[in-house]
Amino acid sequence: MLFILTRLHSVLSAALEIYSVLLVIYILLSWFPNAYQSKLGQLLARVCEPYLDVFRRIIPPIGMISISGIVALLALNVISRGLDSIFIFIYRLVLS
């Protein structure tokens, strides 16, 4: 049981970390003209836009600057830390 929990925790943590990196890359693409139209930009858009759209609907841009990407990354970090806390709690239950 502990092995399965450890593997599940590792896989979920790695997935969240990879998704965070993809979000950072996608957000940085906005600094380059026509980068969203590249193959990489289109691929990242399919992966990142559904998550970012949630925050764009909630947080309006300030002038021409959108902070929704930063808030999305912070939310992903909070989710990751919450997941870690949940697994620590489960580990303690299993080991006791």
Across 17-24, average pLDDT: 97
Residue 11 pLDDT class (50, 70, 90 cuts) = very high
Residue 41 pLDDT class (50, 70, 90 cuts) = very high
Q: Which domain holds residue 49?
A: 2-95
Q: How many domains does the chain have?
A: 1
- In SS3 terms, the chain reads as CHHHHHHHHHHHHHHHHHHHHHHHHHHHHHHCCCHHHCHHHHHHHHHHHHHHHHHHHHCCCECCECCHHHHHHHHHHHHHHHHHHHHHHHHHHHHC
Across 5-19, average pLDDT: 95
